[in-house]
Amino acid sequence: MRVLVTGGAGFIGSYIADALVAAGHGVVVMDALLPQAHGFGHVPELAHELVRGDVRDRGVLDRLLPGVDAVCHQAAMVGHGVDPADAPEYASVNDFGTAVLLAAMYAHGVQRLVMASSMVVYGEGRYDCPEHGEMVPGPRAARDLAEARFDPMCPACGCALVSGLVGEDAVLDPRSTYAATKAAQEYLAKAWARQTDGTVWAMRYHNVYGPRMPRDTPYAGVASLFRSSLENGQAPQVMEDGRQRRDFVHVTDVAAANVLALEASMPPGEFRAVNICSGEPHTVGELASALSAAMRGPQPRVVGGARPGDVRHVVADPARAGELLGFRAAMSFAEGVAQFAHAPLRASAAQRAATTE
């Protein structure tokens, strides 16, 4: 099978490209090499064919799609967004870019799509009230966050909610600009599948970490930010109370899941979303402490507060990915964090610029 991997020079995309080649597939990588992920003027060394191009550029897609059997769509602008002024660029890269890709795939008869989605489409995860059952909490109030009341309360009775595993059938409830664009990508792809008899796997990644993560940028993941602090001899700063729960999944497991999806069969016109997670939830505080111990650095410092758009607990149900794809994460939290503590990361745009001056 010949696969076009958009964003294939990036953190996750590059691992997917490697895994596809190892599985015997042909790969062509397309990447805009955005400075948030790669630094200004930096072209990564890859063992695959690399075409520099923006997914919004129909001309580039028209050159690359002939002869392609499937597309693995990883190109995106990621992160919560630094401020609301980022919204047009998020919508352009993530949503308009996906629309251009889908139109080009239709024109060239490419009907298999595996796309990067995200846990952020859920908003808050699954919660239950002891009295009222499953409940969907509203956005957390600024006053509650300022007074260190971080856990959502039942909107019916005001009692503390208990977090549980969020499954793929949960109602989408995006609470940041980035989250809204990821939900829109899913809706676009679902409509495309129905209209074209194409097939779509929407891979709802949870907190992905591992070697090659971009570092020292507002768009980086929390694991990268913690590690950068420790490398600078500083304590990782943990927001809220550090008890917010996430599922940290290693990038090699994410790549393996994408290969399984690309190789899986599906009836024409189908759209299926799956959680791509470790099935081993931990708190953000536990991640910071594990990295501090592995790097023999200062203990984390809990600083309170919360970023706009952050949610309290998102813990994934891994069952559907196991049933439909046969996917189960192989990397444990302890092993993955110990490896990540000393793995190479991607230098920031500022660092790359400094080295070329």
User: How large is the average pLDDT for residues 145-174?
Assistant: 92
**Residue 208 reports pLDDT greater than 90:** yes
CATH number, domain with residue 22: 3.40.50.720
Cα separation, 44 vs 46, in Å, equals 6
Place of tokens 């980086």: 220
**pLDDT greater than 60 at residue 218:** no
**69 in a structural domain:** yes
Mean pLDDT of the chain: 90
Average pLDDT over residues 307-336: 94
Lowest mean pLDDT among 73-82, 202-211, 348-357: 348-357
Q: Above pLDDT 90, what percent of the chain?
A: 78
User: What is the token pair recorded at 24?
Assistant: 């015997």
pLDDT at 40 over 50: no
Q: Would you say residue 81 has pLDDT above 80?
A: no
Instruction: Check whether 350 has a pLDDT greater than 50.
Output: no
pLDDT of residue 351: 42
Q: Give a yes or no: residue 280 inside a domain.
A: yes
Has residue 297 been placed in a domain? yes
In a domain? residue 131:
no
Least confident range from 34-38, 212-216, 294-298, 312-316: namely 34-38
State phi, psi for 87 to the nearest 5 degrees: -55, -45
**pLDDT score for 42:** 43
- Confidence at residue 112, expressed as pLDDT on a 0 to 100 scale: 98
Give the per-residue pLDDT at 36: 61
Q: Coil, strand or helix: which one is 51?
A: strand
Residue 342 has pLDDT above 70, yes or no: yes
CA–CA distance, 212 with 300 (Å, rounded to integer): 23
Record the pTM. Answer: 0.92
Averaged pLDDT, 291-308: 93
- Mean pLDDT value of segment 255-259: 98
111-136 confidence digits (pLDDT tens): 999 999 999 999 988 999 999 999 98
* Tally of structural domains, the chain: 1
Closest CA to 351 of 209, 217, 211, 213: 217
Calpha distance 3→165 (Å, rounded): 33
| φ, ψ of residue 49 in degrees (nearest 5) | -65, 125
30's CB contacts (< 8 A; 6+ apart) are 4, 5, 6, 7, 8, 50, 51, 52, 53, 55, 60, 61, 64, 75
Sequence length of the chain is: 357
Q: Could you read off the pLDDT of 9-37 as tens digits, one per residue? A: 999 999 999 999 999 999 999 999 876 65
Q: What type of residue is 112?
A: R
Looking at the domain assignment, is residue 49 inside a domain?
Answer: yes
Is the pLDDT confidence value at 100 over 70? Answer: yes
Q: What is the pLDDT of residues 224-243, one digit of tens each?
A: 999 999 999 999 999 999 99
349: pLDDT strictly greater than 50: no
Q: What is the mean pLDDT of residues 284-303?
A: 97
3-state class (DSSP) for residue 65: coil
Kindly state whether residue 152 falls inside one of the protein's structural domains: no
Query: Above 90 in pLDDT, residue 47?
Result: no
On whether residue 244 sits in a domain, the answer given is yes
Q: For residue 158, what are the CA distances in angstroms to 151, 155, 226, 229? A: 11, 6, 34, 38
348 falls within a domain: no
Domain that holds residue 316: 2-125+166-341
